[in-house]
Amino acid sequence: MEVAVPQQKPKRKWRKRALWSFGILIILLLTVLIAANVFLSRALPETKGEISLPGLLKPVTVVRDSSGVPHINAASEHDLYLAQGYIQAQDRLFQMDLSRRQASGRLSEVIGEKTVKNDKYFRTLGLRRAAEASYAAYSSEGKEALDMFAEGVNLYIDELKENGKWPAEFTLLGYEPEPWTPVDSLAIGKYMAFDLGGNWEDQAFRQYLLQTFPKEKAYDLFPDYPKNAPYIISKEELDIEKSFAGAVIPYEFNGSNNWVVSGKKTQSGQPLLADDPHLGLATPSVWYQMHLEAPSVNVSGVIFAGIPGIILGHNEKVAWGVTNTGPDVQDLYIERRNPENEKEFSYKGKWEKAEILDEPIKVKDGKTLDYQVTVTRHGPVVSEFAGKSGKDTVLALRWTALDPSAELEAVLNMNKAGSWNEFEKALLKFETPAQNFVFASADGTIAYKANGKIPIRKKGDSMLPVPGWTDEFEWKGYIPFDELPKTVNPKEGFISTANNKVISDDYPYHISNNWAQPYRQMRIQEFLKANKKLTAEDMQSLQMDKVNLQAKEFVPRFVEVLKGPSGKQEAQALTILKKWNHIDSAEEAAPMIFNVWMRNIGDVLLKEEIPEETLNLFNGRRSAVDELLRRALDGKPGPWIDDAGGLEQVLAKSLQVTLTELAESQGDDIADWEWGDYHQVRFNHPLSSVAPLHYLFNGGGGIPVGGSSVTVQAAAFLEDGTVNHGGSWRFVIDLADMNKGYHLVGPGQSGNVKSEWYHDQLDDWAEGTYHKTTMDDPKGDKLTLKPSN
């Protein structure tokens, strides 16, 4: 009997087919990659040769140096600002468009449903309305600069409409930008006033505390006990939790460092100035570095993309930098609504009609939302943007930034200043946001001024919301310009600020209830007092300083409290902390343990009793927790510490939470932990939240960095360790040579992912490697912009 043997298919044919299919797949993949590369590269701007631009009166030269910094040389301010608008748009057009949309509450038109709450909030605030009202406050020269800048941006937009070489983001989102207007620039300026924070959130949070907790426990989180608290809203009248559930809160750590040193303490014999504003870290940077030169101005530094001039930097005679003063420039007014007419509110015994504004919100792939904003005599009703949470009581916001102002004209005047007197005069128009300016000039002068409109109240201290139905709590003016905090050539030989308290207790006016934790300022002063013959290199080193004075204050006392029996891990962690030199080095375990522990102490104390969305209103949270700990360590614990079981239990529980949390990501052996394995900077792009676009726009993974939110090298971090906030621009100048300055603009100058200047300063930012920018005969790619006629 014959047995049938099954025929086997030839293996070679199968392998050939598999190899053929694999080869086709590789070819297709390479084709896609090549096509994508060509698509992205075609959006790169022209940086060499000649381009004809309508509107120019004479040729303009633009030299981009090795760091991608454009040096614009024009024969007039007319041509200078037109060219500035064109060049900014070449590198940052998508960022500029997104910024004006954010400020104007128009993100949903291009993003969709997910940004509707954000748009509602900014429509309610009315930054765009304030910008529109501000244009009239500008002089003819200021208006011309704004107009020419807008014309330059529009020339580039028109160019893209012709050649179709749009930045990739516009193609991915499927839209083209509208023409630029001067109001767009002013709206971005108003947004920066928002981003640098206010104080209404703290007022609302304190009101919530008084609604929710016994008075003693509520006051335990106040910066000071309120004097004659005027009126407490009951929860039945207005539920703070519901009122602000969707509020957009500026970042807690928005601040900065700056300092200026007299020639008496420097090696060159001339002043040194350093500035590093702390803002969100993203791609592209919030800052754009430029050098602008015309017969009437020669200035170098940085500007927000979408705005003309140079806001921070130096010219041939003076240099300046800023930090956030953080004054109380906002008040929440409790408004009583007419039960018979929801459009009327009580004022001095009469019903007063509010302004009702239509603010329709277009939504991509959705219906246009009918949205209305109510504006009382005090300002927009902000407690209703997420829905009616009070039947007959609402909160309206009074804020200096919502008034017409001309801060961008002040910037243009600062650019031309040649002395302290001229610079201070330019500050007259810089009304919002209030900033700490430090100044140095080639004649040896160093100076400081806290500048901006800071209200004087008839009654109250901005601690809590105040009644809006009476005139008792109205603003009666602003701190006079000549009485704002100021110092010129102090005997100490230096001036420094780090969002710290800038006034003595006998200063006659109220400025703020909250100041930043003092550790950065303490460290800066410690360094500057101890050293003489300082150099620009010393200033750079100080900007990268990682000494943690908060740890120096608390670690020894925490270890003493927890010296009793504990688990093996806890004992190992405390031993590491005990031996630590209190420097937040990326290579050590101690900074990771301490910084995450401090965050968890606050969580253990507050999160179980206060909803997270409400806790987000608490801007002064970290300073308040520090004070709770100080009092407890001194034997005077308050209700929050007592109710959590006492100081030892709070410290033990939060340390255990910290070690458990970190072990999940770092492993069980604490000796192997390194701060930089957890604490990493990424500079995320706005579209990187959409997978897989993060691979395209963000590049590789995170970069390990040292420092923390309380060190001079500011590096605040999210719960996953991502460093998303810090020195967005670092700048140092020795006034012995006014032609050059040392800069860092992480992650780079360009917003185009294929540009050599897209992420070229990423590692530099982490390592503190500065580039030198000269105003004298810069070298690099040269582009000539020629009049089209």
- What distance in Å separates the CA atoms of residue 498 and residue 258, rounded to the nearest whole number? 7
- Rg (the chain; Cα; Å): 28
Q: Are 147 and 155 in contact (CB under 8 A)?
A: no
Residues making up the chain, counted from first to last: 789
331 has binding-site annotation: yes
Cα distances from 129 to residues 299, 432, 572, in angstroms, run: 31, 15, 58
- What distance in Å separates the CA atoms of residue 735 and residue 585, rounded to the nearest whole number? 32
Give which of 71, 84, 114, 152 is closest to 686, Cα–Cα: 114
Q: Are 189 and 131 in contact (CB under 8 A)?
A: yes
Burial of 627 (0-12, 13-18, 19+ CB in 10 A): middle
763 has binding-site annotation: no
Q: Please state whether the peptide bond connecting residue 177 to the residue before it is cis, i.e. omega within 30 degrees of 0.
A: no
- What distance in Å separates the CA atoms of residue 33 and residue 345, rounded to the nearest whole number? 62
- What distance in Å separates the CA atoms of residue 324 and residue 256, rounded to the nearest whole number? 7
Burial of 164 (0-12, 13-18, 19+ CB in 10 A): exposed
Active-site hit among 256, 285, 709, 750: 256
Cα distances from 724 to residues 189, 250, 252, 285, 682, in angstroms, run: 22, 13, 12, 12, 7
Q: Are 434 and 453 in contact (CB under 8 A)?
A: yes
Q: Are 717 and 709 in contact (CB under 8 A)?
A: yes
- What distance in Å separates the CA atoms of residue 783 and residue 24, rounded to the nearest whole number? 43
Q: Are 409 and 136 in contact (CB under 8 A)?
A: no
DSSP string, 656-669: HHHHHHHHHHH-S-
Q: What is the DSSP letter of 227?
A: S
Helix (H, G, I), strand (E, B) or coil at 773: strand
Question: What sign for the dihedral angle of Cα 627, 628, 629, 632?
Answer: positive
- What distance in Å separates the CA atoms of residue 440 and residue 273, rounded to the nearest whole number? 7
Q: Are 120 and 361 in contact (CB under 8 A)?
A: yes
- What distance in Å separates the CA atoms of residue 696 and residue 718, rounded to the nearest whole number? 23
Residue with tokens 């919030």: 286
- What distance in Å separates the CA atoms of residue 328 and residue 554, rounded to the nearest whole number? 30
User: Is position 256 annotated as part of the catalytic site?
Assistant: yes
Six-digit token pair at 515?
A: 């100041």
Q: Are 561 and 293 in contact (CB under 8 A)?
A: no
Q: What is the DSSP letter of 709?
A: T
The DSSP bridge pattern shows strands 372-376 and 446-451 to be unpaired
Six-digit token pair at 377?
A: 């005599």
- Please name every residue paired with 437 in a beta bridge, in sequence order, or none if there are none: 322, 449
Binding-site residues for Ca(2+), in ranges, read: 328, 331
**Active site residues per annotation:** 256
